[in-house]
Each structure stands twice: as structure tokens, then as C-alpha cells.
Amino acid sequence: MRLPRFFGKKRGHRRTGSQAWGSFGEGLFYAGLVAAGIVFAALLLSGTVNYAPSDSQPVALPWAYAWCLWLLTMLIPGALLAFGGSGLARVVRTWGKSEERRAASERLTVLLDAMGHAIGEAPGHPGVPPCDDLVNSPGTILRYRLPIESPESWTLFGFGLFAGLWNAIVVVLAVGAGFELVSGRIDWLLLALLATFLAVGIGGIVVFVRALVLATAVGPTQIEICDHPLMPGEAYDVLLAQGGSGVFRSLELFLEVEELATFRQGTDTRTERTIVYREPVREWRDVQPVPGARFETHATITIPSAAMHSFASAHNAVKWRIVVRGSPERWPVFVRVFPLVVFPATTAATRAPVRSVALAAGEVVP
Amino acid sequence: MSGSMAGNGVVKAATPHVAVEFDRADRVYEPRRELRIRYHIEGVEPEVVRAIERSVLWYTEGKGEEDLGVHSFERIDDPATLAQASPVGTFMIPLPTSPLSYEGVIVKVRWCVRVRIFFGSGRDFVSEHVFDLGGVPPARGPLERLE
């Protein structure tokens, strides 16, 4: 009999030790939780445990007593039973099964789904993300308008939330300090705390307003595309529309592929992103949108014939995207990202050639 | 399981070995084509084999947590069928359209055939044989993020 290794190398869900011993230990842990829940509940219900500290006599929990108190008291043993029971059921269900068998049974559950494909997968294309969210917005000139993938919006929201919450605390402190002053007392500690909090609060507002101005001053960028999903070896007409009133020293259009890998490091979950392919599509110099209108121009993107398709699984992804980089004359450089979905080459259909488009005035073809 | 006599007189259990033959020598398959496999289990007495699992699957490698997708799975534990599937067996599987094999920088997608043997003692032995689905070239390498 081989003894278990207590210090097996572990990364994420992977284990290098014995699967059977690992599952046994896991089962033992959940069984312990269930046992603790049962014992705890039994003690409470039988009155062995005194739940009224002021009363030295053991008191049973009467069923007719306030039901909400009864429920509250049973919350901890109930949670132990639920958590332990579900864990134990999972261990029993997967006991002795290979990872392929477990994965296959999960897939069977998915196949029984009315949709006939896994959630987050394009029908008939395992591992390829769906493009439903990318084709539900019609374009003004071309067929689809691509949604913008903007982490800046969430950053802006975060700055706003921080500024709002922090300054709410400042207001509460200020009201307290105001009452102290009115009553003729000066609490120097409170005033010092208020001054520090006020400085941070003002800083938070400044950062939020700056981010808001940067996000709104440049003007919106829109990308429209003639078809979706994309196929390797095919060319697609793309419309770039840039709003705003200032002059842009340059507007650049890129086609990129980004890899994403999510992994656990201790108790943290981290996502690493790496750009593995970039194709400069076109560049426009000295762009000045006409007041009240937007700058509109066309370009053609070509997906390489041997390209990897879009891929998405639980912790890994390969993403295609169009990137617009702009250099406004009076503002910092901005980058805006528009996601694409590329299907595998085998399903490429015969497509009409991309229509030719006249160059807009002032365009520079690199 | 068969045993072999070591030089010091101690009987050592032979390591099981599964030899797999693909119908294509380069092990590169086009999507939707049929994959034909012939395997030969060596170093194991057929009577100690309790079950065999044959699967065709993809998994990810790289920096992220490993993801796994089973395309085809077959468990053989019926004695009559087991006798036909061990020690030599064949199977054919039509391959899917995706995901294609991919050699990225931090994400890699690999396809493989796995033959897992379960013994009467409760132990199991797995043999994995990688092949390529599609002909996607490796990723060029990490590039600077646009600012």
C-alpha cells in the first residue's frame, strides 16, 4: 500500500499526488462538516447547549418559540449541513471516475440542453465563442456596428464610486466636527482626521473629473463591419467613424490577436494578457472632423488564411480585435478596442468580393 | 499484471505500455476527417484489466488553469466487449471543426487520444498520444501593448 504524500505539488486544480487519497481527504473534510452540523443542531434542539448567557439553566429551544429566532439559531448548523452535504455528494458522484469520464458526463448534460450547445460556444463549433452580442447592432453604412470593449468605462465608474463613497464619509465627519464646534468644543483629533480625509476626497474628485473629461472630450469612435463572424483568408470592409471637434494628428487602425490566461496564485485569481499578432491596417494623418459631423473612412481588413480562430474556454482565450489608436492635438493618446469573432477555416463560405471604396480626403495609405 | 525478475532477485511489476498507431504518420488531421486508431496494451495480463476507457479530447496548456473538452468517450467494462478491446483494439472517430491545435505564447491547445486501463486492484494507468487538428502555425511571440 502506498502512503499518501502530504506535500504534493499543486497548481490550481492540478494535483500530483494520488487522486484517490485526495478525494478521500476531501470526503473526510465534508463528512466532518456534516457531522459537526448534525451534532450542533442536536445540541441546540435538545437543550444541552445554553443559548441564553444570563440564564445558567440549560433551556431547550421550544418549537413554538419565536420562529425567526429558531431559524436564526439553526443558521450555523444549517450552513454546515448544506456546505458539507453538497461537498460530500460531489465527492461521492466523482469517486473513482477519470477526468475524461467526468468531463464527458458534463458534456452530456450540455447536450441534453435544448440549445444543443454549451453556453458560451458557437453552435457546431466547440471552443469558439458565439458572436451573438456582436451582430445585434445594425450599422449606419455597413451591416454591423461593433461594440466597444472599454476597460476605461469601468475605471471611470470605479473612480466615481470611490469619490462618492469617500466624500460621503467626509460629510459625516464634517457634520460631527461642526456640531462639536457649535457646542464650543474643539476636538483636534477629529479635525486632523477630517483634514486628511478631505484631502483624499478632493484628490478622488480631481482624478474622477480628469478621467471623465478625457473619456468624453475626444469624441466617440465607431467601427462598422460588412459581415460577421469572420473567416480566415477572407477580406472585410470596415468603416471607421470618429467624432469630436479637435484635430487628430493621426488615427491608426490595427488588427490584433490577444491571448488571455486565467490562473490562481495563492488565493488570488489573476488574468495575464499577451498580444501575439498585430497587423497595421491603415493610418490617417491630420484628421479634422467637420463641426457637427464625424470623420468617416473605409479600410479593408484581411484575416490570414492560416490564422487561429477565436477560442474561449473556462480559463483560456484567444481573442481577435480591431484596435483604433488616436493622437488628438490637445489630449493624450487614446486606444479603443472592438472585439471580433473568427471562425475556423473549414467552414469558410464563398463570399462576395469586398466592394471598393474611395479614399476620404486627407487619407494616407501606409 | 505481468512481472519481471530484476538482477537482485526481486520481482518487479512490469510498467504497462500502450502503443498507439495513427492512420496518418504525421498525426496531422483536417477538421471533420476521420481519426483511426489502433492500440496495443503491453505488459499487462488481460485478466487483471477491469475496464478500459478510450477518449479523444483537447486540453489547454500554458499559463492558465488547464481546461479540458472531451470530444469522444467510451468506457468498456463488459467482460465480453473487454475481451475484444484488450490487449489490441481499434476505434474510429470523426473529428470536429474546432478547437484547432494551437501553439500560442501563454495559451496552447492540444488534441490527444487517451487510453486508460483500470486494474482489479483499483489502480489505473493512462497513456496519452498527442496529434494535431488543423494546421495553424505557432504564434509569433509577445508584442508590446499599444498605448
User: From the list B66, B116, B135, which residue is nearest A14 (CB)?
Assistant: B66
Number of compact structural domains in chain A: 3
Residue B63 lies in a domain: no
Show which of A187, A217, A247 is a domain's final residue.
A217
For residue B92, being part of any structural domain is answered with: yes
- The mean pLDDT of B35-64, rounded to a whole number, is 92
Query: Is A127 in contact with B69 (Cβ distance < 8 A)?
Result: yes
Whether residues B146 and A323 touch (CB distance < 8 A) is answered with: yes
**Do residue A231 and residue A280 come from a single domain?**
yes
Whether residues A227 and A351 share a domain: the answer is yes
Domain residue limits at A172:
152-217
Chain B residue numbers touching A318 (CB-CB < 8 A) = 102, 104, 107
Residue A251 within any structural domain of the chain: yes
Give the helix/strand (H/E) hosting A21.
helix A19-46
For residues A171 and A249, state if they share a domain. Answer: no
- Are A103 and B146 a contacting pair at CB < 8 A? no
Rounding to the nearest 10 degrees, give the CA dihedral for residues A173, A178, A184, A185. Answer: 10
How open is the CA angle A177-A180-A186, to the nearest 5 degrees?
A: 90
Judged by CB atoms closer than 8 Å, whether chains meet at A276 and B66 is answered as: no
* Phi, psi values for residue A303, rounded to 5°: -85, 125
CB-nearest to B97 from A103, A125, A316 is A125
pLDDT at residue B80 tops 60 = yes
Cβ of B135 and A306 within 8 Å?
yes
Q: Is A249 part of a structural domain of the chain?
A: yes
CATH code for the domain of A256: 2.60.40.640
Contact flag A318-B107 (C-beta cutoff 8 Å)? yes
A73 and A186 in a single domain? The answer is no
Based on the fold, state whether residues A32 and A138 are members of the same structural domain: no
Which residues on chain B are in Cβ contact (under 8 Å) with A126?
Answer: 69, 71, 96-99
Q: Are A259 and A359 part of one and the same domain?
A: yes
Chain B residues in contact with A100 (beta carbon < 8 A): 53, 55, 57, 68, 70, 73, 114, 116
Q: Which residues pair with A126 in a beta bridge?
A: none
Cell (9 digits) for A362: 486627407
Cα of A10 to nearest chain B Cα, Å: 12
Same domain, A212 and A241: no
Residues A213 and A293 in one domain: no
Based on the fold, state whether residues A190 and A269 are members of the same structural domain: no
What is the number of helices (H) and of strands (E) in chain B?
1, 11
Is residue A160 domain-resident?
yes
Q: Are A128 and A347 in contact (CB under 8 A)?
A: no
Q: What is the CATH number of the domain that holds B129?
A: 2.60.40.1930
Secondary structure (3-state) at A16 = coil
Do A288 and A340 fall into the same domain? yes
User: Which is nearest to A146 in space by CA: A355, A276, A324?
Assistant: A324
Residues A65 and A160 in one domain: no
ipTM of the complex: 0.88
CA distance A118 to chain B (A): 11
- Kindly state whether residue B62 falls inside one of the protein's structural domains: no
Instruction: Give contacts of B135 with chain A, Cβ < 8 Å.
Output: 306
**Which residues of chain A fall short of a pLDDT of 50?**
10-15, 112-117, 347-366
With an 8 Å Cβ cutoff, are A274 and B136 in contact? no
Residue A76 lies in a domain: yes
A127 located within any domain: no
For chains A and B, CB pairs below 8 A equal 146
Residue B3 lies in a domain: no
* Chain B partners within 8 Å of A13 (Cβ): 65-66
Distance of residue B77 Cα from the nearest chain A Cα, in angstroms: 13
CA distances from B77 to B16, B54, B82 (A): 19, 11, 6
Please report the pLDDT score of residue A67 as a whole number: 67
Number of folded domains that form chain B: 1
| pLDDT grade for B36, boundaries at 50, 70 and 90 | very high
Instruction: Report pTM.
Output: 0.77
pLDDT of residue B26: 95
Q: Which CA distances in Å does A284 have to A161, A217, A244, A359, A364? A: 37, 20, 15, 10, 5
What phi, psi does A312 have (nearest 5°)? -150, 125
List CB contacts (< 8 A) between B62 and chain A.
261, 316
* In-domain check, residue A169: yes
Same domain, yes or no, for A179 and A271? no
Q: Decide if B143 is inside a domain.
A: no
**Residue B45 within any structural domain of the chain:** yes
Q: Do B55 and A104 touch (CB under 8 A)?
A: yes
Instruction: Supply the range of the domain harboring residue B83.
Output: 15-56+71-98+113-133
User: Cβ separation of B75 and A318 shorter than 8 Å?
Assistant: no
In a domain, B41, yes or no: yes
**Which pLDDT value is given to residue A52?**
55
Contact yes or no for A311 and B64 at CB 8 A? no
